[in-house]
């Protein structure tokens, strides 16, 4: 028996599906799928809380109840959807920016698109050392004001974690690390079940200042 993904059930509960799709999923429930029914029940409770939250804090015991019944299946927690960042802006790759660079803006600034997210990165090499300071921000392209705080941000060299931090309430983060090749930035959004990967090395080969 094949099931529907959690994100489909979220749309189902929020009433965002076509009539045809909704009917097919309703049929799946009516056929007696226990695990999908449980998921829908939890999502409906969550939705009701979200609605009430607009004008009132949910009562503490209701929150406890929701937490008690919402036991996320471990399988899905591991199966994060991976989004690969696509370079859409690089000040070092743009000849028009050369003047700016020479006039003292020494950092490399890059912008990446990854699905519904935009990741802005600034890399500064520290003089007389191989250390690199990275400052970045992740924002939602669909909801620019949406908070993306508390996200785990990891810098990897191959499979090895080189540096790690957590985004602040504005989705901003900063890391420091030793310059090396093949660095990759990974941002995990557990609520969305998404993992954003931004490869730094491939875009930095032309960059003589910061030998990433
Ligand atoms: Zn099912």
pLDDT per residue as tens digits for the range 3-59:
998 888 988 988 889 999 999 999 999 999 999 999 899 888 888 777 766 555 656
Ligand 1 center to 114 CA (angstroms): 30
Predicted pLDDT of residue 95: 59
Which residue is listed with tokens 């990446």? 112
Average pLDDT, stretch 57-65?
66
Q: Label residue 173 by pLDDT band (50, 70, 90).
A: very high
- Percentage of residues in the chain having pLDDT higher than 90: 35
Q: What is the CATH number of domain 81-203?
A: 2.60.40
Answer whether residue 109 shows pLDDT above 70: yes
Ligand 1 center to 38 CA (angstroms): 9
- Asked whether 86 and 112 are in contact (CB, 8 A), the reply is yes
Ligand 1 center to 33 CA (angstroms): 5
Answer whether residue 103 shows pLDDT above 60: no
Ligand 1 center to 61 CA (angstroms): 29
Q: Label residue 203 by pLDDT band (50, 70, 90).
A: very low
Ligand 1 center to 32 CA (angstroms): 8
Q: Name the region of 154 (left: φ>0; alpha: ψ -120 to 50; beta: rest).
A: beta
Ligand 1 center to 91 CA (angstroms): 48
Span 176-196, pLDDT tens digits: 988 877 789 999 998 888 999
**Number of Cα atoms under 13 Å in the Cβ half of residue 139:** 11
Ligand 1 center to 39 CA (angstroms): 9
Q: How far is it, in rounded angstroms, from Cα 36 to Cα 48? A: 18
Ligand 1 center to 17 CA (angstroms): 17
Secondary structure percentages of the chain, helix, strand, coil, to 5: 35, 30, 35
Span 114-170, pLDDT tens digits: 999 999 999 888 777 888 889 999 999 988 888 899 999 999 988 888 899 999 988
In the three-class reduction of DSSP (H, G, I as helix; E, B as strand; rest coil), residue 205 is classed as coil
Sheet holding 172-178, edge to edge: 86-90, 108-114, 117-125, 131-140, 172-178
Ligand 1 center to 81 CA (angstroms): 20
CA angle 121, 126, 127 (to 5 degrees): 145
What's the whole-number average pLDDT of the chain? 80
Q: Measured in whole angstroms, how far is the alpha carbon of residue 206 from the centre of its chain?
A: 28
Ligand 1 center to 104 CA (angstroms): 59
Average pLDDT, stretch 76-103?
68
CA angle 136, 142, 144 (to 5 degrees): 50
Ligand 1 center to 3 CA (angstroms): 4
Ligand 1 center to 31 CA (angstroms): 9
Ligand 1 center to 174 CA (angstroms): 42
Predicted pLDDT of residue 54: 57
Predicted pLDDT of residue 186: 94
Name the pTM for this structure. Answer: 0.55
Give the residue with greater pLDDT, 79 vs 44.
44
- What's the length of the chain? 212
Ligand 1 center to 14 CA (angstroms): 18
Predicted pLDDT of residue 209: 41
Q: Measured over all CA atoms, what is the biggest interatomic distance in the chain, rounded to whole angstroms?
A: 68
Q: How far is it, in rounded angstroms, from Cα 1 to Cα 148? A: 36
């Amino acid at each position: 028996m094949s099931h529907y993904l959690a994100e489909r059930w979220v749309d189902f509960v929020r009433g965002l599906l076509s009539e045809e799709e909704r009917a097919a999923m309703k049929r799946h429930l009516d056929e007696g799928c226990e695990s999908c029914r449980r998921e829908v029940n939890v999502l409906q409770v969550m939705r009701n809380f979200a609605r009430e939250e607009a004008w009132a804090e949910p009562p503490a015991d209701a929150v406890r109840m929701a937490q008690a019944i919402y036991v996320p299946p471990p399988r899905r927690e591991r199966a994060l959807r991976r989004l690969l960042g696509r370079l859409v802006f690089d000040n070092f790759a743009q000849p028009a920016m050369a003047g700016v660079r020479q006039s003292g803006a020494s950092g490399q600034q890059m912008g990446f698109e990854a699905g519904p997210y935009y990741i802005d990165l600034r890399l500064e090499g520290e003089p007389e050392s191989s250390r690199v300071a990275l400052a970045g921000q992740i924002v939602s392209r669909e909801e620019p004001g949406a908070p993306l705080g508390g996200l785990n941000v990891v810098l990897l060299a191959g499979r090895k974690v080189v540096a790690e931090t957590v985004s602040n309430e504005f989705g901003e983060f900063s890391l420091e690390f030793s310059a090396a090749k093949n660095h990759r930035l990974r941002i995990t959004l557990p609520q969305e079940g998404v993992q954003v990967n931004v490869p730094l090395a491939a875009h930095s080969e032309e960059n003589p200042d910061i030998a990433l």
